[in-house]
Chain A
């Protein structure tokens, strides 16, 4: 399995301020087809996870443009330009470059 390591594990942010979460993989996520299969999910309190970003930097339909993703190889970042109250929850990165689905341990975002 690929090990996905997120930092920080928790984040306390003032509304309107930016936030950033990092995800590092134990192996490169660049596939032989040229794509990088790295995704970001948000699990709001008491809810199922929801897809935010697919293939590193593409926002899923309906996801606000304050969310953005970047990175390559083994290092990836999710950024929220201006955090809103509805953004609280646990953020997970996930890889599927290898024929498994491996999640990071999660980063809990709270409001200050």
Chain B
């Protein structure tokens, strides 16, 4: 069974650093993209970025570039989302999701949709 298990609830102060995790099981983790999706309180879903654990190819939504770092360790089937200096506006639930992809006519791997999701990690940033 495909599973994505995320790390637990975090309560942090502004300015602190944080790294949350997403561990995959039940499938070939290096060969599937992992996405991170933010859900701010009472708001909708917002894609942040994706990583291909097999070669660490990483892509960010422009509004998140430089604000967070996405990484992965394929040896332990785990992806990460990291902040260097948290702000109150980072308070949200963060979901990881496995990304299904297709190969285009040129043979490039094209991420297309999220088929399995983690349970979410609540991050609260407050002084």
Contacts and interface: CB of A to CB of B under 8 A. Distances in A.
A70 to B, nearest CB: 18
Interface in B95-127: 95, 97, 104-105, 110-115, 117-120
Contacts of B37: 49
A41 B46 CA distance: 13
A48 B95 CA distance: 8
Interface residues of A, number: 23
9 contacts: A37-B113, A48-B117, A49-B95, A96-B113, A99-B59, A100-B47, A102-B47, A103-B44, A103-B46
Given A41-B45, A48-B118, A90-B44, 19 more contacts: A33-B105, A37-B112, A39-B113, A41-B114, A48-B117, A48-B119, A49-B45, A49-B95, A51-B114, A51-B115, A92-B44, A99-B110, A100-B47, A101-B35, A101-B47, A103-B44, A103-B45, A105-B44, A106-B44
